[in-house]
Amino acid sequence: MRISGSRAIGLAMAGLLLAAACGGTNNAASNAPAKVQIAFEFMFTPDNLPGDAMLKAAQLYIKQFNDQGGIKGTKVELVVWDDQGKAQIAQTLQAQGISDPTVLGLVCCQFSGVTLASEPGLQGATPPLPFVAIGASNPKVTDSGYSVAHRINARDDLQGPADAKFIVSKGAQRVEILYPNIDYGTALADQVSNYIKTNGSGILTQRDVEQVGQRDFSTIITKIKAFKPDWIFSASLSEEASPFLKQLKDAGYTIGQNINYMGSDGHFGTDVNKNSQYSEDGAYVSTILPDPSNLPAAASFKSAFGAANPSLLGQGVYWGSSVEAMQIILEAINASPVSNGKISRSDVLAHLGSDTFNTIVGKVQFDSKGDIKNSGVFIYQVQRDNLNYMQTVGL
């Protein structure tokens, strides 16, 4: 997406914050807005490690931004909404932002289902409330025609085929496809299945559905033994991935020896490997967001974030995407004119659709649908307490 080549431009955090605070040459003489709010919505409860990393990163970045002057001298207020991963709660929370014209942008959401349910209300606000999504990968999020919709991650119809392409390239013959019974899992499993069917001549597949919160995988593992796959693709979330991997190993499977394994985003982060007693060692993991941990543009923030949150430093995909989304929203707000102490969401929305944004992962621009341009899928390999970057897959 933005890790390799010219996309990974070394942008110093201090320079970025100073440019945003000054507002560039066209905004330097503008009057200050009376109030600026950004809403940050995610699933924070029950305990959610990605959500924790993202929230703490957003809070730290907003503090740094305000310390450099905020929006034309006005400090930005971060409004935190915990939607608990439920569409109804999200819509109730968003109604608060819709009715408050000083809420100029929304960063959300962990699940595609929540995002899809939110779009009509956000679009119907007066003016519409623009959002930048982190992780909502269902193609419908941006295919539905809502101008408020923007996302910084790759779509399911890129990730699924890219994951399958990687598996096919490794010579797979029999592929077990395991996925949770939620929109995310079903969509990703469908994309993997369809790619293998079209491009993997002679490759056999078997699909199994797990329940959210499932802890006993003995029935599924029995079916896997009977199928005799040489690859497993799993769209499981971390809560299910850890016990499955441990039970898979207890059943006699060792990744890299008698089975190969690829997990999607729910496996990203060393917590899955640790919680499965390192049963994930050697597995491949794909993500729809880059990890900026080793990019020059992220060095300053990484240092500050690691000092404040050492246990979360390894969650680079999540704290990185949180900062990236905040930078995009703040640049769009800062580029918008102030009239009578107010900034209009309509202007913010226009800048989101047209501008190029400087972020810790490089330059970012959205296409006409609100998808990020030049996206990719990032493949890592798990090795004990590290995730080693392997390659970027595109189609």
**Chain segment 66-116, per-residue pLDDT in tens:** 999 999 999 999 999 999 999 999 999 999 899 999 999 999 988 888 999
Express each pLDDT in 149-160 by its tens digit: 999 999 989 999
* 372 part of a folded domain: no
Same domain, 50 and 125: yes
pLDDT-based confidence at residue 388 (cuts at 50, 70, 90): confident
pTM: 0.82
pLDDT given for residue 182 in this prediction: 87
Looking at residue 374, what is its pLDDT? 83
Look up the CATH number of the domain holding residue 123: 3.40.50.2300
Pair 17, 106 in one domain = yes
* Same domain as 257, residue 119: no
Quick: pLDDT tens for 190-233.
999 999 999 999 999 999 999 999 999 999 999 999 999 999 99
- Classify 271 as helix, strand or coil: helix
Task: Note whether residue 370 is domain-resident.
Answer: no
Asked, for residue 373, whether it belongs to a domain, the answer is no
161 in Cβ contact with 395 (< 8 Å): yes
Please give the residue range of the domain that contains residue 336: 5-155+291-364
User: Following DSSP, what letter does each residue of 82-102 receive, concatenated?
Assistant: E-TT-HHHHHHHHHHHHH-TT
Distance between CA atoms of 137 and 140, rounded to whole angstroms? 8
For residue 192, being part of any structural domain is answered with yes
* 36 and 130 part of one domain: yes
pLDDT at 28 over 70: no
Within-domain flag for 371: no
User: Could you tell me if 91 and 166 lie in one domain?
Assistant: no
The reply to whether 163 and 275 lie within a common domain is yes
241 lies in the same domain as 342? no
Run of H or E residues at 244 = helix 238-250
How sure is the predictor about 2, in pLDDT bands with cuts at 50, 70 and 90? very low
Query: What pLDDT is stored for residue 395 in this prediction?
Result: 63
Please count the structural domains in the chain.
2
